[in-house]
């Protein structure tokens, strides 16, 4: 074979090679490691996110900074699986539904614990959208003031338990508060407020 003399040579410079390499997709192991380091995800959750097909959506929503990366990743990974197991057609579990649920959490319109019930209501056609589902299920987010009021009521009602168990009363009290607040208040917020108020009650 003879070289084609009428076609000019293409010189592959370091700059050209670098620009080509920059267009290649990120290797799976590098992406998983980046999720662990940049977003503090566990290795297992980072792998599940990569395999879920929602990695690009995760990065878009994570850039908004309104929902913690672990909560966001868990929602995107687990919610579609749970919904399809409940009989929601896969075509109804689309990006639009997931984004609306995540943004409702990020905006404080609902607690993350309500994500499944809200998404199920919308995905099954019982509600038009997230706002409609929140109204129908009575899962609009509680303010901290409302939550503190409910905690105060429970602490008064369970005064005997508190006297008997002291700080060990936290777990049963947490259960009581979550009966009222589940789906309307974030569990971490409930825990923080309850611990503070329980300590104050024990100092009296």
User: Closest Cα to residue 72, out of 46, 34, 37, 109?
Assistant: 46
Average pLDDT, integer, range 12-41 = 77
> Cβ contacts of residue 39 below 8 Å, gap of 6+?
46, 62, 69, 70, 73
Question: Contact 52/76 with Cβ under 8 angstroms?
Answer: yes
Tell me: the pLDDT tens digits for 172-185?
999 999 998 888 88
pLDDT of amino acid 140:
80
pLDDT digits (tens, 9 = 90+) for 97-156: 999 999 999 998 888 999 999 999 999 999 999 999 999 998 888 889 999 999 999 999
Report pTM: 0.71
Residue 21 pLDDT: 47
How far is the C-alpha of 61 from the C-alpha of 76, rounded, in Å?
Answer: 10
Taking residue 123's Cβ as centre, other Cβ atoms within 10 Å add up to 25
- The pLDDT of residue 78: 97
Determine the average pLDDT of the residues in 12-18: 60
Local structure of residue 109 (DSSP, 8 states): S
Q: Quick one: what percent of the chain has pLDDT higher than 90?
A: 74
**pLDDT at residue 1 tops 80:** no
Q: What pLDDT is attached to residue 101?
A: 97
């Amino acid at each position: 074979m003879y070289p084609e003399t009428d076609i000019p040579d293409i010189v592959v410079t370091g700059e050209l090679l670098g620009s080509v390499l920059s267009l290649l997709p990120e290797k799976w192991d590098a992406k998983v490691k980046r999720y662990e380091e940049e977003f503090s995800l566990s290795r297992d959750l980072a792998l599940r996110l990569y395999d879920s097909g929602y990695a690009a959506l995760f990065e878009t929503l994570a850039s908004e900074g309104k929902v913690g990366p672990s909560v966001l990743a868990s929602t995107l990974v687990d919610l579609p699986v749970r919904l399809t197991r409940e009989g929601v057609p896969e075509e109804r579990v689309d990006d639009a539904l997931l984004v609306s649920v995540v943004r409702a959490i990020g905006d404080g319109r609902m607690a993350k614990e309500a994500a499944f019930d809200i998404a199920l209501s919308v995905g099954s056609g019982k509600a038009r959208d997230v706002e409609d589902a929140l109204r129908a299920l009575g899962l609009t987010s509680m303010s901290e003031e409302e939550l503190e009021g409910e905690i105060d009521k429970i602490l008064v009602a369970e005064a005997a338990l508190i006297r008997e168990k002291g700080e060990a009363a936290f777990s049963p009290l947490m259960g009581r508060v979550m009966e009222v607040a589940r789906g309307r208040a974030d569990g971490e917020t409930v825990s923080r407020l309850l611990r503070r108020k329980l300590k104050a009650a024990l100092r009296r």
